[in-house]
Amino acid sequence: MIYKWFDYLKQKTHFIVGYVIMPNHIHVLIGFRNTGKSINKTIGNGKRFMAYGIAERLKTQRKLNLLKLLANGVNNTDRKRGKLHEIWSDSFDWKECNSWKMINQKLEYMHDNPCVGKWRLVESPVDYWHSSAKFYITGEQGIYPITNLWNWKISICQGIAICR
């Protein structure tokens, strides 16, 4: 679902500059072009798209207990509006990255995420499949091809945001 959302963002002329998909959250560095839609709207639409796909996949896999758990997480106001499952947290964090120093800091932080804390999924960021770390460390694209940050000018974008 996440890679499909990345494809959608690319179709809308945005850039996927870096990412890490963790078991319970994602980090993504997106070069946003000014398309007339706010970053909040773009991310919110993406979360809805992915939530629908996740719920459909769980239905297909007959994961009824998990679907029931996700349904129990919907508050009364959202339930009245027709929301069936609570897949994502209501909010997300994003920061506009307006310097190369900040971009590098965010890339390092997100690429190290699978190696530290409670997860410790791999020893080295380059070994984590669902990450752009391989590209930034070795120059080889990983599972999902990203836009080479160093080949374009930051000024063409509304900003670069990291979302969690």
Answer whether 119's CB lies under 8 Å from 129's CB. Answer: no
3-state secondary structure at position 161: strand
Backbone angles phi, psi at 93, to 5 degrees: -100, 135
User: What is the model's pTM?
Assistant: 0.83
Integer CA distances (angstroms), 124 to 19, 38, 75, 103, 108, in order: 15, 35, 40, 20, 12
Q: How many domains does the chain have?
A: 1
Domain ranges, residue 23: 2-163
What is residue 5's DSSP assignment?
A: H
Please, where are the H alpha helices in 26-157? 39-60, 64-72, 76-80, 100-112, 133-138
The string of pLDDT tens digits covering residues 21-73 is 999 889 999 988 888 888 888 998 899 899 999 999 999 999 999 999 999 99
Residue 156 has pLDDT above 60, yes or no: no
